A and B are shown apart, each in its own frame.
Chain A
Amino acid sequence: MSEPVVLDRPDVLTDLGQETLRRLIRVWFDFERRLARVPIIRRLDLGQFNLQDYQNLLLNLRPQVVEGARWIARGASSFDRDYADVRSVIIGHAKDEHRDYEVLEADYVTSGGDLQTLQTQPRNPGSEALHCFLMYRAGQPNPVDLLGAMWIIEGLGEKMANDWAKRMEELIDGSKAFTRFLRYHGDNDDSHMDKLYGLVDRVCTDEGAADRIVRTAKVVARLYAMQLEEIEHA
């Protein structure tokens, strides 16, 4: 069995790995701007976000969070023996998060929401598109482009979740009692991101793989923003 990849952020990247990381950073900045235009996030930025917004956010996030563990687990199973080291990292990640929707459910109930309503909320059109795309990509042989998907989804946790949670607490009632899901990701996703950096060189083996990683990051960014846009219409 191969050794697991080094989990620290690498000091040296190959030229292709470095170029891919630069492209991913730009995809991330574009994603942040796209998020800033989404109505519910704009309300948060402007200080107009309320409890109803928060509950709607959780209501619309849950289906994707529940499915999140599935696409990661499916992705792990699609890596063959040549990628056993990558598979180890992905399995570890799937294990970390496969029941985090339970925290989200508890937050929703603590904020005054009804569990039955939450659990029967169907996927909104953005969540549906995101779910289908991720499950499809995760089923491909050696789906290294899932790194692009994780770049966006883990990046949200690492870079946004704590800021969002803090702002939501300020605007709602100053309590941290119902932002535990966001806080969990804000506190833990930086270690997940370190694992991602460790994978960049490993999976950027040729231009084709690099292009697929960047493309998947762009698609996931677009669909994630769509999932949040659709909250207005849910």
Chain B
Amino acid sequence: MSVYITSTGAFLPGPPVGNDEMEEILGLVNGKKSRLKRRILKANGIVTRHYAIDKDHNTLYSASDMAVKAAERCLEQSTLSSSQVKMLSCATTQGDMVIPGFGSMVQAGLGIPEVELHTTHGVCTCSSMAIKAAYNNIRVGDQPNALVVVSELASRLFKNTHYEAAGGAAAVNFDAEFLRWMLSDGAGSLLLEDQPRGQCLRIDWIRSYSHADAYPVCMGIGATTDPNDTRTWQDFPTYGEAEANGALLIRQDIRLLETIVKIGVDGTLKLIEDGLLDTDKLDHLLCHYSSHHFKSRIYELLDMAGARVDEEKWYSNLYTRGNTGAASILIMLDEFLSTDRAKPGDTIICMVPESGRFNVAYIHLTVVEEGNE
């Protein structure tokens, strides 16, 4: 059975925030301006993003609030009402509650009765796996439709007060500060159905290749800065001590980060070798690169391997919508479809490399028209 993405929706909280306004909202650590901000922003190329918190650090929208708003926008443009949704497949890196699963909060917010519920948890690729679970559920005939909802609220992690509690300037090295100028907030949603409606997207296949067996953690929260300390945050007597030891700061191991390019290219070459992908026939590449720097690296390596995807086929809204982690690829797809670039018969690949502990996911789509497939 074929499965189609028949509607999409996105929600970005508040007005766009420019590079000069970021620190005003996130706060000055120990009253001092960041010395790394400019350098990191120059590399990632992001010009505006959105935050769900204000400069007084009030949360204006929770992660589940944003999820609900994105899902409502998706459903508004579909022929279904929320009560007709049969499966709800949600993903987030970090919801509002630690327990229960994020999907439960989103279901409650949307008021969908008796839905089949699924939550994935991880980093950027967990949304692709939420889509895959929904896709397979429809494909085997268990459900006629599934709503995928992904939301990220990273800005709460970046309040100056968290860095101060972890030791202030001493705690804010490059690895700890890096993501502060990378990640922002937003939510996206897709409706999957067992039949096409109007011009929509057929899902051809979804694959992912994880390499956590080979590499150490590259991005995470929960461990201390001391590589010889194996404790994670719940191993401390109190959460206050965990925070003071830096175990609640989100950190990126910059030295390992370049690996993300290699796993992204390696997965693409594997798909070519396996006969699933032909880059010559591809019309659009939606790549969730976290930083403009990585785009050129991926492009160069694919070119060297004889699998170049021409510049004009690349699409990303990273620069204006920011890096919203797992939600990025849905927010990107939603905006891409609104540009009318996609024509019937076009093929699209969504590529999502993840640096958490190195995973990469791919979604291959074909633009189809109802009654004309």
A contacts, CB < 8 Å to B: 13, 18-19, 21-23, 25-26, 29-30, 32-34, 36-37, 42, 45-48, 163, 167
Contacts and interface: CB of A to CB of B under 8 A. Distances in A.
Interface of B: 211, 213-216, 227-228, 255-256, 259, 262-263, 265-266, 269-270, 272-273, 301, 304-307
A25 B227 contact: no
A29 B301 CA distance: 12
Contacts of B305: 21-22, 25
A36 B266 contact: no
Given A22-B269, A46-B227, A33 B214 contact: yes
B300 to A, nearest CB: 12
B255 A32 contact: no
Contact of A48 (B228, B255, B304): B228
B215 A25 contact: no
B208 to A, nearest CB: 16
Given A22-B272, A25-B301, A45 B306 contact: no
B299 to A, nearest CB: 14
The 10 closest A-B pairs by CB, nearest first: A33-B214, A18-B306, A29-B266, A22-B305, A47-B227, A36-B214, A46-B227, A25-B305, A36-B215, A26-B269
Contact of A22 (B256, B262, B306): B306
B53 to A, nearest CB: 33
Nearest to B267: A29
Nearest to A45: B216
Contacts of B263: 29
B216 A42 contact: yes
Contacts, number: 51
A167 B255 contact: yes
A25 B263 CA distance: 11
Given A22-B273, A46-B216, 6 more contacts: A26-B266, A26-B269, A30-B266, A34-B214, A36-B214, A37-B214
Contacts of B307: 22
Nearest to A9: B304
Contacts of A25: 265-266, 269, 301, 304-305
Contacts of A45: 215-216, 255-256
B216 A32 contact: no
B214 A48 contact: no
Contacts of A36: 214-216
A26 B273 contact: yes
Contacts of B215: 33, 36, 45
Nearest to B226: A47
Nearest to A30: B266
Contact of B262 (A18, A29, A46, A48): A29
Contacts of B301: 25
B22 to A, nearest CB: 30
A48 B215 CA distance: 15
A42 B228 CA distance: 13
Contacts of B216: 36, 42, 45-46
B357 to A, nearest CB: 11
Contact of A19 (B214, B228, B306): B306
